[in-house]
Amino acid sequence: MSRPLLFTNARLVDPASGKETRGALLVKDGTIADLGASLKTAPDGADTIDAKGKVIAPGLVDMRAFLGEPGAEHRESIASGSLAAAAGGVTTVVSSPETNPAVDDPAIVDYLLRRARDTAIVNIHPAAALTKGLRGEEMTEIGLLKQAGAVCFTDGAKTIANARVLLRALTYARDFDALIVHHTEDPDLAGNGVMNAGEYASRLGLSGRTIEAETIILERDARLVRLTKSRYHAATITNRDSIDIARRAKDEGLSFTCGTSINHLSFNEQDIGDYRTFYKVAPPLRTEDDRLALAEAVRTGLIDVIVSDHTPQDVEQKRQPFAEASDGAIGIETMLAAGLRLVHADAVSLPVLLRAMSTRPAEILGLPGGRLEKGAAADLILFDPDEPFVLSPSALHSKSKNTPFDEARLQGRVLRTLVAGKTVYEYA
């Protein structure tokens, strides 16, 4: 059993309550034993760390990351992905089911949990496929998959185009109180588009994907949630019109939550510049007006969750003409630093940012975490929100290096990450 650990002189940020205090925090037996301004002395045998005024907060909970196993270990593995997560302050990861084979059988969920137990340094929870083989046709055994340990059900970056299939899945999931996480982009409307539709796409000579490809599916899904009274989460909304749909669904009292990706909060379509494929993501980056609307929706809490949408791709898949390159960017290690751009720009407060990256995803998934309180699991991060640095892709821990933050100036460094009271990452 590890010795108690006392952090002194810390800025304690609890996103669950929105409170910030100065003081100390004691970790003992894997939990937060005590915290606050009145905590002064360490128990016998404890190690003491002077936080020097830096932030201690709950570890981040990332609802959407691809970890490669099984079938794509050359792009990422559970071990490398969890190391990248720890370095980014992420203590809990929901792994995407878009593996080979897809996570559509309880035996694969069990395999992933065992691999995570043996190789991961952060908490890994599998998401299971919503349809067999991610084909959008035949529903999986939601009850058995949940019993095996799946925390939510999704076809990842694939949309279930058949409304009847989704209706059945929502109805079935309701009976198991299971969460459906859905990618909302009509594949027929998206067609062969490779970036946001509009003037900029025309100037680049690239085919576009309209926001209606997203909003039509989102509007349809809201109606199905109203019909079934099931638990639904839109994985990544990306534009102002989708925010309006989410607002109406929430005002109606539906069990409807939504997220967006750190990429869509950080960049707009013009960042593609001279056909830079690291900015090719799905759904595509939108306009600056949409990006600002997303940030405002995070500030107000209308958007519940920010995800990394961590999608490792090898060089061969990205070093292609823009139209032919694969979608996706890595982001699990840079999510916090990128999000802090919003804080430094006064678009959101630090507790609000952390709430979207830890408290709300934990609440929606029904997982522990996201709270800085006595008795909570000591899944914690110590970070300096002001330390500037230039991101070098070679310094990242992911197996793939397709980061849109290549050589970007960022501000905010993770200094230490703890999972269940054990230090799993320390910045040297």
Residues assigned a catalytic role = 309
Supply angle C-alpha 189, 218, 235, rounded to 5.
Answer: 100
β-sheet bridge partners, residue 208: 195
Phi, psi (degrees; rounded to nearest 5) at 396: -75, 155
CA pair distance 186, 159, nearest whole angstrom = 7
Residues sharing a CB contact under 8 Å with residue 131, sequence separation 6 or more, in sequence order: 104, 137, 138, 139, 140, 155, 160, 165, 169
For the residues of 312-375, what is the DSSP string, one character each? ---HHHHSS-TTTSPP-B--TTTHHHHHHHHHHTTSS-HHHHHIIIIIHHHHHHT-S-S--STT
CA pair distance 33, 377, nearest whole angstrom = 9
CA pair distance 152, 180, nearest whole angstrom = 6
CA contacts within 13 A on the Cβ side of 102: 18
Q: In this structure, what token pair is assigned to residue 266?
A: 């950080």
Give, in order, the Cα–Cα distances in Å from 105 to each of 38, 123, 129, 207, 329: 51, 21, 8, 37, 27
Least Cα distance to 88 among 340, 408, 413 occurs for 413
β-sheet bridge partners, residue 56: 12, 382
